[in-house]
Amino acid sequence: MSKRGSFIVVEGLDRSGKSTQTALLLARFEAAGIPAKLLKFPARTTPIGQMIDSYLKSHSDLDDRAIHLLFSANRWELASTIEHLLGAGTAVICDRYAFSGIAFSASKGLPYEWCRAPDVSLPAPDLALFLDITPEAAKARGGYGEERYEKEEMQRRVGEIFRRIGQEISDGGGEGEGGKWVGIDAGGEKDVVAREVWAFVEPLARGIEGPLRRLWP
Ligand code: 2DT
Ligand code: MG
């Protein structure tokens, strides 16, 4: 039986190095001759993604629930693409995914379970890597940008919820419904972080025998 591609998600606070690390990870796959595709959420170019982009740049205002559902819908519009790629043996690397959806909206005060619901039965990653950095260290990397959510207080709450998500996955046996969750110290030098990322990804890199799982059944 031929293997399906592995589904790797990279999460973290703003300025934790997600873009750098996902790009380095893609390069690792390519260097190893393994087909891989890098996706980023929010995917800002689709019609839904354009609404999200406008909201994040404060060009438009939306109810907290409405924007939450748009972020989820933005994943659903790419869910079949993800499944197709994995089924064809291509690894999928995602810069943010449903965990960001929960962490950011719950940090605004929306109920955690409510935040989780619209992402139920999305493709589940085989591995979620959480690039862990303190809001102070993130800020020291040149400060946050101008977008909504790029504020220290918000980042602190988001970090706490990411840790709760990781704890729940670990309590469920570590390989539970949300896939395996691994926290990585992202405060160090980028090549050091990249080596650690690869150490977790490498065992899965050449594909997976088992079926694709679904988020939070
Ligand atoms: P980037 O800085 O990575 O472009 O993200 N966000 C993201 C949510 O609030 N919900 C989601 O489901 C996702 C995927 C995180 C832009 C901001 O969007 C937030 C930061
Ligand atoms: Mg950002």
| Closest ligand (CA of 40) | 1
pLDDT at residue number 2: 86
Closest CA to 190 of 34, 73, 18: 18
pLDDT band at 124 (very low <50, low <70, confident <90, very high): very high
Out of 45, 46, 74, 104, give the residue to mutate to test ligand 1, the one with the largest number of ligand atoms within 8 Å of its CB. 104
**3-class DSSP state of 3:** coil
From the CA of 158, give the closest atom in ligand 1.
Answer: 15
Centroid of ligand 1 to alpha carbon of 193 (angstroms): 22
ipTM over 0.95: yes
Residue nearest to atom 1 of ligand 1 (CA): 42
Residue 97 backbone dihedrals phi, psi, to 5 degrees = -160, -150
| Average pLDDT along the chain | 94
> Could you tell me the residue ranges of all domains in the chain?
7-205
Enumerate residues 6+ apart whose C-beta is below 8 A from 208. Answer: 3, 4, 5, 6, 126
Which residue in this structure is represented by tokens 């404060």? 58
What b/e readout covers 190-205, taking b as 16+ CB neighbours within 10 angstroms? eeebbebbbeebeebb
Centroid of ligand 2 to alpha carbon of 18 (angstroms): 10
181 and 165 in contact (C-beta within 8 Å)? yes
Alpha-helical segments (H) within the chain:
18-31, 47-56, 64-87, 98-106, 112-116, 135-140, 152-171, 190-205
Residue 173: pLDDT above 70?
A: no
Centroid of ligand 1 to alpha carbon of 42 (angstroms): 6
Other residues' Cβ atoms within 10 Å of the Cβ of residue 145: 11
- Which residues have C-beta atoms less than 6 Å from ligand 1? 14, 41-42, 56, 71, 96, 100-101, 104, 149
* First-last CA distance in the chain: 26
| Closest ligand (CA of 19) | 1
Give the CATH number of domain 7-205; options: 3.40.50.300, 3.10.20.600, 3.60.110.10, 3.30.300.30: 3.40.50.300
| Closest ligand (CA of 42) | 1
**pLDDT top residue among 170 and 114:** 114
- Residue 197 tokens read as 């990322």
